Amino acid sequence: MSSGGAEDDIPQAERKTVTDFCYLLDKSKQLFNGLRDLPQYGQKQWQSYFGRTFDVYTKLWKFQQQHRQVLDNRYGLKRWQIGEIASKIGQLYYHYYLRTSETSYLNEAFSFYSAIRQRSYYSQVNKEDRPELVVKKLRYYARFIVVCLLLNKMDVVKDLVKELSDEIEDYTHRFNTEDQVEWNLVLQEVAAFIEADPVMVLNDDNTIVITSNRLSETGAPLLEQGMIVGQLALADALIIGNCNNQVKFSELTIDMFRMLQALEREPMNLASQMNKPGMQESTEKPARRENPHKYLLYKPTFSQLYTFLAASFKELPANSVLLIYLSATGVFPTGRSDSEGPYDFGGVLTNSNRDIINGDALHKRNQAYKEMHCLHPGDLYPFTRKPLFIIVDSSNSVAYKNFTNLFGQPLVCLLSPTAYPKALQGMCGVAFPNKLQLQTNTIQILREKFLFVSGLSSMRRGLWEKCQDYLRKINRDIAQLLTHSRSIDQSFLQFFGDEFLRLLLTRFVFCSATMRMHKIFRQETRNYPESYPQLPRDETVENPHLQKHILELASILDVRNIFLENTLDDY
């Protein structure tokens, strides 16, 4: 009797297991689908929702691990369904990284995506006659590639691209699909993305050096005794990409990708315990400095851009800085104006909205009006009420030289060249995937920039390490030049206390000085970066001490012949 009762309890327990699993699965899908409805700006609205979503997925993941045998036998749980749960967790971590800018969550996303591949959770999908399942697998690959790109795991990226290519070929061969062109475009985009940056090969063992733009522990020059700088901290950044024919993958252009990394520290590994980051208290966070919060805006309309600007401006803490990075096609003024104000020099392009096509037609008939799809310098004036740091990569970046500091708050604009030397392409033996690639490097890259304009793609390991040491020395010296300058605008020094902004400023000075000494760049002043307020050239970008360092670095690399010995020569 007791034995029969025990046997009767087994199916009931198993039914409860299946019921509980179905409840957690449905709840997790409901919460995950609700993430897309959360506002993209502001923090209080989404923090608790992410916490609840992580909580349910934590329970779901542990539940399927603890009851795998029952779920296999009674529910018919398939491995691709486990993979789908793991993929959703990876997406959660990735989107939480986008919301918080905490790079350690990228490692968490990588862990789950990598486990799916190692355990072949999606291996049986191709045997089922269901194209929608194959699409899930393809999307998983695309998301995994994005995470690997952000972590600079280029060896994994190349393997994933090969696997994705094979999967797409099999998918399009088996099913008569309409999205074949779209998936082939995905392959083309990621291939262009990988090739967009030159790599350095170490001749000793043909090792490919994958350098990172992220801030390492020794990345920014340390503040030395006697340096008087402000105490402002970079809190928020808007990274905007709106270039025509820009190299991109997903909704991340190569320019946005580089700037995103320039505003982050190197990731730290966290134990993959599926903790609930959305519910973490401040005392539970890693005991280290945070990254500035970032908004990534791919081809935003003017109204979208302004909405995010206003939200970021509103939530900016005291003694903090808002950074705006604009990588966009230049918009030039259509005619001369009697007075030259902040709306008379053009600006950069914002995305047009189909709802105002009729307005566009009217505008084109009357050139007296300003371009409505343009972000003019004057559009940013309201936000100069708080400390503002602007970087413009555009063919009309110089429009932002015409700023006026109305409210006396710290304000700096770093402006890319508006053209690049055509001869450089032949010298380096590479093709520029887009015109603005070089301009972005102007602002961001320190080591790679010098090597690129010097036409170098390989060297001995010992020489590479020697260059790194020497560049760190140059970086320290630039910091001293800026802080010891007697005529520099105080805005630069106000921003210099923040590590990220300090590194951007020293890189900017180094690249500006390098270009002014490079024979090809000196053919046109349009090839030079500029700034607002203007840097004192004799104390910074044309300082003899810095020029000597550049020539010494060129000698180390045996490329001194492409730099001018006397930069005061006419060009």
Convert the pLDDT of each residue in 506-552 to its tens digit: 989 998 898 888 887 777 667 789 999 999 999 999 999 999 999 99
Q: Are residues 182 and 326 in the same domain?
A: no
Is the peptide bond prior to 533 cis by the omega test (within 30 degrees of 0)? yes
Q: Are residues 186 and 58 in the same domain?
A: yes
* pLDDT exceeds cutoff 90 at 118: yes
Q: What does the mean pLDDT of the chain come to?
A: 82
Domain CATH code at residue 90: 1.25.40
Q: From the CB of residue 555, how many other CB atoms can be counted at a distance below 10 Å?
A: 11
Q: Are residues 135 and 197 in the same domain?
A: yes
Total domains in the chain come to: 2
Per-residue HEC secondary structure of 112-125 comes to HHHHHHHCCCCCCH
* pLDDT exceeds cutoff 60 at 365: no
What lies within 8 Å, CB to CB, of 15 at 6+ separation is: 74
* pLDDT exceeds cutoff 50 at 568: no
403-443 residue pLDDT tens: 889 999 999 999 998 877 766 544 433 333 333 344 444 44
516 found inside a domain: yes
339: its two tokens: 């007075």
Q: From the CB of residue 294, how many other CB atoms can be counted at a distance below 10 Å?
A: 23
263 found inside a domain: no
Residue 524, helix vs strand vs coil: coil
* pLDDT exceeds cutoff 70 at 286: no
Q: Are residues 109 and 240 in the same domain?
A: no
Q: Are strands 374-375 and 347-349 parallel, antiparallel or unpaired?
A: antiparallel
Angle at 498 between CA 548 and CA 488, to 5 degrees: 50
Contact 541, 512 (CB under 8 A): yes
Q: Are residues 169 and 240 in the same domain?
A: no
Q: Are residues 414 and 336 in the same domain?
A: yes
486 found inside a domain: yes
Q: Are residues 237 and 101 in the same domain?
A: no
237 found inside a domain: yes
514 found inside a domain: yes
Segments in 366-488 forming alpha helices (H): 423-428, 436-444, 447-453, 461-484
C-alpha–C-alpha distance, residues 33 and 7, integer Å:
40
334: its two tokens: 């259509």
What is the distance in angstroms between the CA of the first residue and the CA of the last residue of the chain? Answer: 104
Q: Hey, which residues does 170 pair with through a beta bridge?
A: none
82 found inside a domain: yes
Which pLDDT score, from 0 to 100, does residue 362 have? 39
Angle at 324 between CA 330 and CA 504, to 5 degrees: 100
Q: Are residues 479 and 387 in the same domain?
A: yes
Q: Are residues 378 and 468 in the same domain?
A: yes
Q: Are residues 390 and 521 in the same domain?
A: yes
- Phi and psi angles of residue 391, each rounded to the nearest 5 degrees, phi first: -125, 125
The winner for highest mean pLDDT among 98-102, 402-406, 490-494 is 490-494
Contact 193, 247 (CB under 8 A): yes
| Closest residue by Cα to residue 500 from 214, 151, 100 | 214
476: its two tokens: 């320290």
C-alpha–C-alpha distance, residues 302 and 372, integer Å:
8
Domain boundary among 150, 182, 202: 202
Q: What is the DSSP letter of 215?
A: B
Domain boundary among 150, 179, 202: 202
* pLDDT exceeds cutoff 50 at 3: no
Which pLDDT score, from 0 to 100, does residue 47 have? 82
| Closest residue by Cα to residue 86 from 22, 140, 34 | 140
| Closest residue by Cα to residue 467 from 345, 373, 552 | 552
216 found inside a domain: no
Question: pTM to 2 decimals?
Answer: 0.87
Q: Which helix (H) or strand (E) holds 324?
A: strand 320-328
Q: Are residues 388 and 523 in the same domain?
A: yes
Q: Give helix 131-150 / helix 180-195 axis angle, nearest 10°.
A: 10
Which stretches of 496-557 are assigned E, i.e. beta strand? 530-532
C-alpha–C-alpha distance, residues 203 and 348, integer Å:
42
289 found inside a domain: no
Q: Hey, which residues does 518 pair with through a beta bridge?
A: 563
Which pLDDT score, from 0 to 100, does residue 245 have? 78
Provide the residue range defining the domain that includes 385: 233-244+298-353+370-557
Q: Are residues 378 and 470 in the same domain?
A: yes
Q: How many CA atoms lie within 13 A of 441 on its CB side?
A: 22
Residue with tokens 């024919």: 245
* pLDDT exceeds cutoff 80 at 224: no
